[in-house]
Structure 1
Amino acid sequence: MKIAIFGGSFNPIHKGHILIAKEAIQKLNLDKLFFVPAYKSPFKKNVNYVSEVHRTNMINLVMEEKMYLSTFELNKKNISYTIDTVKYFSQKFPNDELYLLIGSDNVNNLNKWKQIDIISKLAKIVIFERGNKYQKINIKKFNCLKLNNSIYPFSSTDYRKGNLLMVENIVQEYIGANFLYFDEIAKNMMSIERYKHLKFTADFALELAKKYNFDIQKAYQAGFMHDIAKEWDEENSYNFLKKYGYSKENLPFYKLHQTVGYFYLKDVYKYKNEDVLNSIKIHTSLKLDQLSILDKILFISDKICQGRKWGGIQKVRELAFQNLDEALKVVIQKCCIEYNNNLGKEITSEQWEIYNKLLK
């Protein structure tokens, strides 16, 4: 049989991984191609991987005909060296023809790989193009084969920078359901100041949740995600909301980022917890209907977490751990009514109706 080893972090597996695998199977006439997720690459020591369980689950979601998963490197629970993996496969399939599939971004460093001479004897090294420039000396030295594949504009790095279209829809569904990669996505999508605010809000919300025996995971995630669309510009925000029937005519600006955040998290990031999503959707405006405890926790945490500075804030922080509803009233008075009055901003009749109800 012809068997290929396709190693990588798969953090997460993206559309390009599957397309390359399909081309390799076709062009090399493979019988089997094994995805081999790394426990940790020796060349990516500073990269944060999601757990091996999540990475293998995502691979399993998208594998096609003749594709298989090997957990050899994950089971070692140590830094992964290709020589160990190739030796394992050569022992497992002693009478078969082995191929090692690697990206062209690895070519210039091939001579630095541990026991590369032995690797090249045990398996035919196949180079798939990634669009980068590289020297051909290592290709000749280690008798590599070029796949001459199509170049696909997908990468796990770009995914973690916020380009969520890099992965298949079913993978994004899994990511959203398990709250994966959000830290990196948020960090790459916004300013460091806004990112810090998300972290501070999440931390404060978690502590309030502990105090009031509320689900700490929901509280933390709500705090961490609430301002994901805060730095979107107005035009892009309203354009994003067109398909949901919103425009400047029916959605005032003060509700804009909370509404964009709700739909972005729900339909793009594909986060699934409706309690959290609904609290994010009203975290600036609040609502006339009964507020949930999460609504209150998020609204208060957003206004009095670390990094916020206004007169009397420390006393309000203390009050929040004594009486959540009283703290809510003070925050509305200080951060909504007085704040907008000081700036000369008009408070809408809808907002007054909400504030008057909650201040009773």
Structure 2
Amino acid sequence: MHKVGIFGGTFDPIHIGHLLLAEHTCEVLHLDEVWFMPAADPPHKDYQPLATGQERLEMIRLAIEGHPFFRLTDIEMERGGVSYTVDTIEELQRRHANHAFSFLMGADMVNYLPKWHRIDDLALRIEFIGVQRPGTTLHLNELPAHIRDKVKMVEIPLIELSSTEIRERASQGRSYRYMVPEPVHQFIQRNDLYESKS
């Protein structure tokens, strides 16, 4: 089986923290590939992306270009609407029967797993890769056993970086040059993506 880690998120914008997380996880767990999957309409976030779906897809494409183990999947964009992971995984397994999928997430989302839509069905289909940064509080023992048994934890180096910070810096005219890959930096500037509208 071809081992694939699905890395979902809004990626508004993708930044070097995302890429380092994917690279480190791929190496530690011996994944064959990591697929970046931007959400069309994430159910767990009140925040609506500032960049369009096409702009976020293009930024990911630019960020991972040339990497041998990174791929982009637009499956949730293609489907549109609220993106429930279980629906996406069912569709991916229909399309790629010889792939074993895992789902990458931050430790904070691991704690939230029991609230996920159709979590019992999802836990039967895939493993979850919980990425723990130093200082993150994890409540793994509080998860139901059938979910806990499907979680693998990976510790990554501490990188204090977020898409929110990059958007704020861009809107304030402050530098974020080395927080994103250079092609992404140029794309954001060229399209004035996060420029303050006031």
TM-score bucket (shorter structure)? 0.7 to 0.9
Higher relative contact order (CA 8 A, sep 6+): 2
Q: CA RMSD in A?
A: 1.7
Q: Tell me how far apart the structure 1 counterparts of residues 26 and 3 of structure 2 sit (CA, whole Å).
A: 9
Percent identical pairs in the alignment equals 30
8 Å CA contact retained: 1:128, 1:149: yes
Give the AA of the match of 1:104.
A
TM-score between the two structures when normalised by the length of structure 2: 0.86
8 Å CA contact retained: 2:42, 2:84: yes
* Structure 1 residue ranges, 4+ long, deviating more than 4 angstroms after superposition: none
Q: Which ranges in structure 2 are unaligned for 5 or more consecutive residues?
A: 170-174
* Residue in structure 2 matched with residue 132 of structure 1 by the alignment: 136
Deviation at 1:36, TM superposition (A): 0.5
Give the AA of the match of 2:50.
Y
Cα 1:99–1:139 shift into 2, 3 Å? farther
Give the AA of the match of 1:74.
M
1:16 counterpart SS class: helix
Cα 1:141–1:153 shift into 2, 3 Å? farther
8 Å CA contact retained: 1:139, 1:145: no
Number of aligned pairs? 185
Q: Tell me how far apart the structure 2 counterparts of residues 157 and 104 of structure 1 sit (CA, whole Å).
A: 18
Deviation at 1:11, TM superposition (A): 0.5
Deviation at 1:161, TM superposition (A): 2.2
* Residue in structure 2 matched with residue 115 of structure 1 by the alignment: 118
Task: Please say which of residues 5-14 and 89-98 is displaced more in the overlay.
Answer: 89-98
* Residue in structure 2 matched with residue 49 of structure 1 by the alignment: 50
Q: Tell me how far apart the structure 2 counterparts of residues 36 and 139 of structure 1 sit (CA, whole Å).
A: 27
Q: Tell me how far apart the structure 1 counterparts of residues 4 and 88 of structure 2 sit (CA, whole Å).
A: 13
Deviations 1:24-70 (A, max 9, x none): 21112111211000001112233333111111111011112211010
Q: Tell me how far apart the structure 1 counterparts of residues 74 and 116 of structure 2 sit (CA, whole Å).
A: 21
Q: Tell me how far apart the structure 2 counterparts of residues 94 and 139 of structure 1 sit (CA, whole Å).
A: 28
Give the AA of the match of 1:68.
R
* Residue in structure 1 matched with residue 20 of structure 2 by the alignment: 19
- Selected match of 2:84 from 61, 64, 81: 81
Give the AA of the match of 1:132.
T
* Residue in structure 1 matched with residue 99 of structure 2 by the alignment: 96
TM-score between the two structures when normalised by the length of structure 1: 0.49
* Residue in structure 2 matched with residue 276 of structure 1 by the alignment: none
Deviation at 1:141, TM superposition (A): 4.4
Q: Tell me how far apart the structure 1 counterparts of residues 167 and 138 of structure 2 sit (CA, whole Å).
A: 25
2:41 counterpart SS class: coil
Q: Tell me how far apart the structure 1 counterparts of residues 76 and 70 of structure 2 sit (CA, whole Å).
A: 17
Matches within 5 A, 1:1-360: 1-63=2-64, 64-130=67-133, 131-136=135-140, 137-138=142-143, 140-142=145-147, 143=149, 144-162=151-169, 164=176, 165-183=178-196, 199=198
Q: Tell me how far apart the structure 1 counterparts of residues 107 and 5 of structure 2 sit (CA, whole Å).
A: 16
Deviation at 1:7, TM superposition (A): 0.5
8 Å CA contact retained: 1:129, 1:151: no
Greater strand percent: which structure? 2
Q: Tell me how far apart the structure 1 counterparts of residues 165 and 16 of structure 2 sit (CA, whole Å).
A: 12
Deviation at 1:139, TM superposition (A): 7.8
Q: Tell me how far apart the structure 2 counterparts of residues 40 and 166 of structure 1 sit (CA, whole Å).
A: 25
* Residue in structure 2 matched with residue 343 of structure 1 by the alignment: none
Deviation at 1:140, TM superposition (A): 4.8
Larger Rg: 1
Deviations 1:6-35 (A, max 9, x none): 100001001111001111211121112110
Greater helix percent: which structure? 1
